Chain A
């Protein structure tokens, strides 16, 4: 792509060759109306209101690509007539219910109707029954739907569930006279609109991962949150820009805040909104917002006890749901008071990156997740992708659709959500403990063999052998036949029989012996049949490669070897490497804190169990502010330091108060933001200087990007893997169901659920379990009693033990690794 210049309405605009006219205009603050187009998704051409004239021809700005020197006019007489007619059509039979509609005030139909100045109606058609439907977390009001298909588009192109489709509207045909009298684009748009409505795939209830993105993109009030509906007008809500802290994607969100009610006037969060053109949320971020820790006043006695506990303690335990600033406070406390900092998850991640750095030379992985959106071949390893980082899944799906890409998903647990992402993704469900094998396979498939360290190349080669197989081939054979024909003899004029030779092609099956390369790695990782063939298809025309590495690797018994293999992949293949930090701010914590392996005798815990507990969930000895009551920064998978803001007030003590009591000095927690600059990769920026928004061109103007840091490299040796270590007996997997990440998501009223043992329906059937059955799960380490929950979003036969509820000490079943052999018995 190269930079070109086009002219829009007389203004010279620089853009990239092939950029959509609409996006070029938007990036340069030129307004072109557009309803159905979603940035990052494919154009649907449903609304046709983005009509412009390019080099004298009418084109759709959301679909037409710019060429050098293009002359574009956004308004001509015919275009204006079309726009006016289109808006009139949208207003046909649209209920006049802006007065109660949730979208009122931010409704695109309202806006464009006013912008285009529709003050009378020329068209009419008989309305059909369009009753309201409840889809679970969402309500759909078809009478408000303008069939822009943004919901179906985002669900397919971005999220990957493809859970919405169109259905017949059952309407009369449009009065024939309109065909003549109407502008033509408006007529065809109406024709299409008049045929369909939206429905969940099965017609009744939505069966999806409940991201709610369809409600976000809906330009009108047709798809709305059932919980929010009719509780507030958009304009009454104060938007607080923040960062979602549930997972490492660090999505930009806005908390929308207003006083609770007349009886309970305290502020509360009504909903979470996002800049849907540029960021897509998962359901946890969208619905998991009211986890605030309500504290009325400073509890001085508890605070005194906390300070006392800190004086007495030699260890601080914490998890990674904290801000960078808090992590820095803890690190500083370690430096001044000599505490041991215990956070196993972050420590393993840090160690993994350290080992990776020793081979790759990058102190942390160097490619942000957005590289995946731009790639056309993506591999995910070691991650239950839809729950480890929903945005990583969106990115893979988006890459497959928008870049005509393909993907491979290596994970022991089959995932129906991944499978619905289309046939361009190949799932490889290898046995747990064979992650190294998958890495060797990737090296085998993609590495430049001659560049690879020779031992590695040899090791890989040792899996190859040639074998002779019999293939049945269909070949076409030429068969010559003698046919008798009657022909009129020209000379005689009589008919006579003559013999003619005729040849024709006939298919024929032949068996043939061929020598093929046999790759035993494929068998080891349980690759699907006809692997080579499918690979060939997947790899056709692919040139940008990205790999996502997940948390299964960090806690793997052979994590070090895996880290080195990951580094080798990055070094000797075209793949870029992105790692998924397991928790909200694992990356920040891993970079900022110097974590210890062994704990001391008396510990203070921050959001985790210990002798004295500080808790943002209100479960400990001293209350702490929850993430929606705090200012600070979070480090995301995008290698970005994102600011987040307090949406709700907090009256109690925070970590900074304790730090001050222990001898550190800072008026506010965010005073530490600037001090982060002392850490490699971070910058010395004041919190108040950090922006948090998207620009018109979709550029992410949020916080700052981490700077690349290098590490000293050592040797590139990797160890072979132990095929025999593969786990094959009954086991459980430590992972969460969709929408759940931690206590905070579970505290939110729309998401709150009872924990259980999440099993696929196949597993339930095979083991004669049904929803709600009580089972005991026993591993070598311990045992737990759980209720069975059948989850349609997991597959295979490995049940999930969730970790989102800290009351359930799920780690008790696991040695470090996220898989553990376990027996499950009904009780």
Chain B
């Protein structure tokens, strides 16, 4: 049992790494295509059929480009920072059940690496650590745009950490567990059981915070090209820059999974239909990230802070209090 479990875990880790690395790539492809379509363009067309192999081309490019460490950069930190981003993103994936459990050749597979009973806490924690990637990378780059990016990263991530936490308190109080499996099972009864209905405010708050956590438009200010070049990524080249990229896209996928698991019933009863619906719902949230990028402008850092502390945080606190009251009576 022990060895089997060990092997199974290793396999799961490898599969997740491979699948999500690849997905990160496809994510960029989808993003380009979808943004293009929304802007009446065609997007990549020339490498491979419909430009699919553009990802491969990019991959080759990223892998073969020269790895430059600027003269005044703090070498070791500069080099390790992208690894932090990518690694934490994948580490967070350990506590996410990607599919309902299923049986293959009489062997029951749990598509989750570690069903720890503090899964949510773990995911939030590890994702929070991920912010050291941009922060350290920026500070080590010795670049003024990167420095601005570092300041913004610190402010944004810490602020929205608060919103995520507070927003989740409501649902947590209702489910009474940190395990995402438990969350799923809590809502397994069908659409009506979805937490979104009982916790709409928490859902919206968490969703908004997810944009900040992943640094996507309209909260893209950490690496806002038109103001601060590529922010923390300004001095990076080749695969190191690629790691930031993979981290960002992996995060987008994982947070989409988490939202669905927390508020939209996850994979429900564990049937094949439930599993499909799970992927579909997840896909919607991923798509939504792209959609907003095509439609919305970025907002200013001060507006972001204002929104966080003066609007979202009071709402979140209010939500917790109201939930508490409702549960008490």
The answer to whether any beta carbons of A and B sit under 8 Å apart in the complex is no
